[in-house]
Amino acid sequence: MTAQIIDGKARAAALRADIATHVARLSQDHGVTPGLAVVLVGEDPASQVYVRSKGRQTVEAGMESFEHKLPADTSEDALLALIDDLNKDPQVHGILVQLPLPDHLDSDLVINAIDPAKDVDGFHISNVGLLGTGQDAMVPCTPLGCLMLLRETLGDLSGMDAVVIGRSNIVGKPMAHLLLGDSCTVTIAHSRTRDLPARVAAADIVVAAVGRPQMVKGDWIKPGATVIDVGINRIDKPEGGTRLVGDVDFDSVAPVAGAITPVPGGVGPMTIACLLANTLTACCRIHG
């Protein structure tokens, strides 16, 4: 068997086109343009790349993009004052503070200062609580993108056994709640989990989000399982230079799995598309 390759790039492009259509209608019929504010503190190169990409795709979808680039030594008070301004700004419907923040800033305090209605990352404790209790929440973008790919690939997920590898607040935990919400039987595995290969071998759905290059091997996988790879790791090539790989060893897993996301071109493009979807949702909710 050779796995179906789940084309996240194409799915994300289709979602962005759908969003752009809705945004155009919202502007025409109601004179409202969704606005997304992105706050970047410091000069982390990877974060700069993400923020640039978010800004470009926001504008391409017909939305307003507001970028706030602050120096690495920005005080907590100054950052909280900016968030307060953005919370009150009627042109801003979504607020994203790029993580990680410099060490002197308390991420929880900063994230929880965002108006939950504008929290398009779904990281505010109110949204975490709503998701955890199965209520209508802003859902974190990466797990939301994974869920969309899974539903499109498998249809109804009800009753399936799912293993989420990784317990981060950004991906692992919300992913587990989303799968539970779709009536999967969910295991959250992590660095202390005993006999991870045996747990993975029992799963119809595997979501890998640990940040360990090519950790999940083909002989762990139940034949026909669907494998979603959230990892983005840069490794050295034997012939020199580097390349991007996921948390899944694609070459050994693809011949066994039923479907698999590639890296790059799988989950990654879905994350920003879902951010735009959340911004549109926030705008529609704010304007009733």
At its nearest, how many Å lie between ligand GUN and the CB of residue 275?
Answer: 8
Active-site residue, from 98, 115, 204, 222: 98
Which among 57, 118, 119, 121 is annotated as catalytic? 121
Amino acid (one-letter) located at 150: L
Q: Which is nearer to ligand GUN, 67 or 161 (CB)?
A: 67
16 assigned binding-site residue:
no
275 and 148 Cβ atoms separated by less than 8 Å: no
Q: Footprint of ligand GUN on this chain (CB under 6 A)?
A: 96-99, 121, 141-142, 170
User: Could you tell me if 189 and 199 are in contact, meaning their C-beta atoms sit under 8 angstroms apart?
Assistant: yes
Q: How far is the CB of 267 from ligand GUN (least distance, A)?
A: 11
CB of 142 to ligand GUN, least distance (A): 6
Q: Say how far apart CA 53 and CA 201 lie, in whole Å.
A: 37
C-beta of 5 vs 99, nearer to ligand GUN? 99
Asked if 69 is an active-site residue, the reply is no
Rounded to a whole number of angstroms, the minimum distance from the CB of residue 2 to ligand GUN is 31
Cα separation, 96 vs 120, whole angstroms: 6
Q: Which residue is nearest to ligand GUN (CB)?
A: 99
User: Which one of the listed residues 54, 118, 173, 222 is annotated catalytic?
Assistant: 54
Q: Nearest CA to 222 among 206, 238, 234, 211?
A: 206
Cis peptide bond upstream of 262, omega within 30: no
Q: Got the DSSP string for 70-100?
A: E-TT--HHHHHHHHHHHHH-TT--EEEE-SS
Instruction: Tell me whether residue 166 is annotated as binding.
Output: yes
Q: Which is nearer to ligand GUN, 62 or 122 (CB)?
A: 122
Is the CB of 203 or the CB of 274 nearer to ligand GUN? 274
Nearest distance from C-beta of residue 17 to ligand GUN, angstroms: 22
d(CA 188, CA 17): 34
Between the alpha carbon of residue 1 and those of residues 4, 222, 254, the distances in Å are: 9, 12, 8
In the annotation, is 98 catalytic? yes
Q: For residues 225 and 160, what is the distance between their CA atoms, to the nearest angstrom?
A: 10
Cβ-based nearer residue to ligand GUN, 99 or 215: 99
Residues in the annotated binding site: 166-168, 232
Catalytic residue numbers, as ranges: 54, 98, 121
| Residues contributing to the annotated binding site for NADP(+) | 166-168, 232
